[in-house]
Structure 1
Amino acid sequence: MRLDVRPLENRWVRLEPFTPALEHEARAALDCDSDAWDVMVGAAYGPHFDGWWASALKAMEAGTRIAYAVRRLDDGAVVGTSSLYEINPPYRRCEIGSTFYRPEARGGVVNPACKRLMLGHAFDAGAVRVEIVTDAINPRSQAAILKLGAKAEGVLRKHKITWTGRPRDTAMFAVLDEDWPEVRDRLDARLAAFA
């Protein structure tokens, strides 16, 4: 599995790998909805942005993460971020996560459009497993992941520590290579409804 670091685009969004030129737009997109950050492992709003940004760039240099700014194509605005991370080429697996969208970008086409691009990129590169995880106390996120077609695999207790210091139980979901054709078709049909 070899994941190229390059922009990914469809009719609705363009995923742009982090570069210094995107820092200002990413900061502006993420500096909102402080309550939503409470269930995240790391925070990127306000004073938390600089450390989060530096960490993302460092992981990109190490080849363990591709962090994307999510640009909505109908207005050109950066409305959030998502990443392919925990990239493990020998095991042909990665994770989609560190996803945050501005409130006005939630619940519509942005999330399924982003996940379609990232899942396609991973499986085209030879992945056999793509994980999507979320905080076990976040039912909205879990419902969105299931709606994508990922399969629930259980809860890992005290799996991560959030930036607030709270031990986090992680709800695990995954799409396997044999699941991908059905998940892809389902996402494509869902996205067609937005056309």
Structure 2
Amino acid sequence: MQIATVPLEDRFVRLEPFTEDLRETMKAALDCDPAAWEIMVASAYGAHFEGWWGAALKAMGAGTRIAYAVRRLSDGAVVGTTSLYEIHPAYRRCEIGSTFYRPEARGGPVNPACKRLLLGHAFDAGAVRVEIITDAVNAQSQAAIRKLGAKAEGVLRKHKTTWTGRARDTAMFAVIDDDWPEVRDGLDRRLAAFG
């Protein structure tokens, strides 16, 4: 499995791998909704941005993460971020996460479009498993992941520590290569409904 660091695009979004040229645009896009950041493992709003940005670029340099700016094509605005991360070529697995969208980008085509692009990119590169994880207290995120077609695999207790110091239980979901055709078709139908 070799996942290329390239832009991904459909009719709703363009996912642009992080470069220094995107730094200020990303900083502005993520500097909102502090309450949503409270349950994240890492925070990227306000004064937290520089450390978060540096960690993302470092992981990209190590080949364990591809961090993307999410550009909404209807108006060209960068409305959030998402990543392929915990990339393990030997095990042919990775995760989708470190996802944050501005409030006005939630609930429409942005999230399913991003997930369709990321899952397709990973499976086309030879992945056999793509995990999508979230905080066990985040019922809205879990519902969105289930709606994508990912299978719930349980809760990992005290799996991560959030940036606020809270021991986080993690709800684990995954799509495996056997599931992908059905998940892909479901996402394509959802996206087609947006016109």
TM-score, normalised with respect to structure 2:
1.00
Q: C-alpha separation between the residues in 1 aligned to 2:194 and 2:15?
A: 18
* SS at structure 2 position matched to 1:127: coil
Q: In structure 2, what is the equivalent of residue 130 of structure 1?
A: 130
Q: In structure 2, what is the equivalent of residue 146 of structure 1?
A: 146
Matching of residue 61 in structure 1 with residue 38 in structure 2: no
TM-score, normalised with respect to structure 1:
1.00
The 5 Å alignment of 1:47-58 reads 47-58=47-58
Gaps of 5+ in 2: none
The 5 Å alignment of 1:2-21 reads 2-21=2-21
Q: C-alpha separation between the residues in 2 aligned to 1:27 and 1:82?
A: 14
Matching of residue 96 in structure 1 with residue 91 in structure 2: no
Q: In structure 1, what is the equivalent of residue 191 of structure 2?
A: 191
Identity of aligned residues (%): 78
Q: C-alpha separation between the residues in 2 aligned to 1:59 and 1:99?
A: 16
1:22: Cα distance to partner? 0.4
Amino acid at match of 1:62: A
Q: C-alpha separation between the residues in 2 aligned to 1:139 and 1:14?
A: 27
Q: C-alpha separation between the residues in 2 aligned to 1:63 and 1:125?
A: 14
Amino acid at match of 1:76: G
Amino acid at match of 1:61: G
Let me know the Cα RMSD of the aligned residues: 0.3
Q: C-alpha separation between the residues in 2 aligned to 1:92 and 1:25?
A: 32
Q: In structure 1, what is the equivalent of residue 162 of structure 2?
A: 162
* SS at structure 2 position matched to 1:90: coil
1:135: Cα distance to partner? 0.1
1:41: Cα distance to partner? 0.1
Q: Which runs of 4+ in 1 moved over 3 A?
A: none
Superimposed CA distance per residue, residues 41-70 of structure 1 (whole angstroms, 9 cap, x where no aligned partner): 000000000000000000000000000000
Q: In structure 1, what is the equivalent of residue 119 of structure 2?
A: 119
Equivalent residue pairs, number: 195
Matching of residue 39 in structure 1 with residue 39 in structure 2: yes
* SS at structure 2 position matched to 1:91: coil
